[in-house]
Every structure is written in structure tokens, then in C-alpha cells.
Amino acid sequence: MVACQGLPKEDGLDLILHTPGGSIDAAEHIISYVRQLFGTNIRAIVPHMAMSAGSMMALACHSIIMGKHSAIGPIDPFVGQLSAQAILDEFNRAKKEMVDSQAAVHAWQPILSKYQPTLIEECERACELAKKLVRRWLKSGMFKARFESTPPQMTNDDLDEIVRQFFDLRETLGHGRHFDLPFIENLGLEITGLESDPALQDLVLSVHHCFTITFQTTVRVTSSTSVRVGGNGVGRFHDSCRGGARTNFESGRAGSGASNARAARVGVGGVRSQRDEWSKVCAVRGD
């Protein structure tokens, strides 16, 4: 939230996303917060990858900027370490095969016995939430003008098909798939190539690489250390290390080169977790 402090709300917001994913609840909270501040005038910029919940956040913006090497991915949620949709598909397959053949009961019994109570219901709720959020975000953001045009340029069936392309494992064939710019563009999303604006590309990659180096070189204090870095163009950067240490440092205006390339306000924020999988959400507004 510190990344948005002091930014002019009327200018809208750019989100630089680099993340392997995470909690749907966290993604929902972030999008709810920034939409309260900036409305739907939010643009996602993906310098490398925004997977899983990161892809959901990108789809919540009115447009996405991606490089030729960038990717977003499937949005099917995980329950524990497993895909919720994969669990449901397996369970439905088991039911069908056991109805069709008594012999299948003996084959499926040891597998189904490992399911925890309420697992199926939890998977159903997680899948429903992911689809509901992305559908709502797309309809109120990226596709709002298409739905409100006369005549409408998009129907609910069109929207459902796009959500299915990101969600259905029979289409994606794996949660780790990388969807590149041509694939996303072919689905009809609002996409712009990062390389089309060299000045913006230089700014975005500079911020991205600075964060990458910062997190890679942060000294691990304990095995449970997590690191947060945040700040904006009207204040100071600060970092905090959880697990035994905390530091604050001044770095002048965030993104010192930004003013030379039109960026009026810059705000950055990121977290490196205990697992060394770090995520970055950066708020940048140009012109």
C-alpha cells in the first residue's frame, strides 16, 4: 500500500507485475484497494511473468503491456500443493468409472481414501471464486466498453469462453503453461507490446532488474527471513527484514531516472518470501 501513497489518483495507475503467483485472497485485496483509489484506470505491465494469481491481477486491469519474452498463465487455483480443478476432474472421473465398472472401485479406493474431509467442497469453492473474480474484473474493466457499446461488441458467452481458455485444464493442459503476447492477443484481450515504446521499456526493465538484484543479494538473516521493499516518487524507500533484522535507507526519489522519461510518479513494492520465491508489484504512472 505504501507504493500508492502520494500518487495522483486522477492519472491512473500502472502495475508492474512479476510473480509466480500466490493467494487468490491477496490478489482480490490488492485489486480491490487499487480500484478504490484509481477506479479501472489501471494498466498491467508484465516485464517477465505474472503467473496464477498474478495473471488474475493482470486480467483485472483495463489493458496489459507485455514484452516478446513475457508471459501470463492459467488461473486455476491450488488447494495445498495441488490444482483444485485437477482434483475435481480426478474425482469426477473416479465416480464415472466406478459406476461403469465394479473392478474400478478397487483401483480407485486407495486414491480416494487419501482425500481429506471437505476437500472436494473446498476445491469447488476455490474454482468458483477464481472464475467469478476474473469474470467480474474483465466485465467491469478491460471489456466494459465492449459491453456498453451500442450494439454490444461482446456477449456473456464470449466472456465465459475467454475465462475458460485461462481456467480449463483441458485447454491449458497444465498450471505452469506460459501464454505469450500473440496467444493473449488472439483471445481478444487489450494487449500492447512493451517494445513499441522504447522509453517505457527502458524504465520498466530498469525497475524490474533493480528489484531482481535487490532480492537476490539480500543477506538471509534466518531461514524464515522475508524481505519487503517499498516506496514511491514522493517519499523514501524503506526495506524491512522479518526474522531478526530491520533496516531503513534513503535513496532520494524513487526511480531517479524516471523524471527524464516522463514518469511523474513512481511507487514500488515487493516481497521475497521464506521460500525465496519473490513477487513484485510496482506502481508507476507516466505522462
Low-confidence stretches of the chain (pLDDT beneath 50): 222, 236, 238, 242-267, 271-278, 280, 284-287
What pLDDT, on the 0 to 100 scale, is given for residue 234? 52
CA distances from 145 to 13, 36, 56, 149 (A): 19, 19, 20, 6
In sequence order, which residues have a C-beta less than 8 Å from that of residue 195 and are 6 or more positions away? 67, 68, 201
CB 159 within 8 A of CB 139: yes
What's the rounded Cα separation, in Å, for the pair 88 and 224?
Answer: 33
List the beta bridge partners of residue 13: 42
20 phi, psi to nearest 5 deg: -80, -5
Query: What pLDDT score does 126 carry?
Result: 93
Residue 269: what pLDDT? 54
Q: How much is the pTM?
A: 0.80
Indicate the pairing of strand 49-50 with strand 71-72.
parallel
pLDDT of residue 11: 84
Q: Check residue 123 and give its pLDDT.
A: 93
Contact between 53 and 22 (Cβ < 8 Å): yes
Whole-number pLDDT of residue 50: 93
Q: What is the pLDDT of residue 273?
A: 45
Question: What is the distance between the alpha carbons of residues 252 and 270, in angstroms, rounded to a whole number?
Answer: 18
Length of the chain: 287
CB contact at 8 A, 63 and 190 = yes
Give the separation between CA 85 and CA 106, rounded to whole angstroms. 24
pLDDT tens-digit map of 20-35: 888 899 999 999 999 9
What is the model's pLDDT at position 157?
95
pLDDT of residue 232: 55
Residue 5's pLDDT is 73
Is 3 in contact with 231 (CB distance < 8 Å)? yes
Q: Left, alpha or beta for 237 (phi > 0: left; psi -120 to 50: alpha)?
A: beta
Evaluated on CA atoms 244, 248, 254, 257, the torsion sign reads negative
The residue assigned the cell 487468490 is 24
What local confidence, expressed as pLDDT, does residue 125 receive?
A: 94
- Residue 226's pLDDT is 58
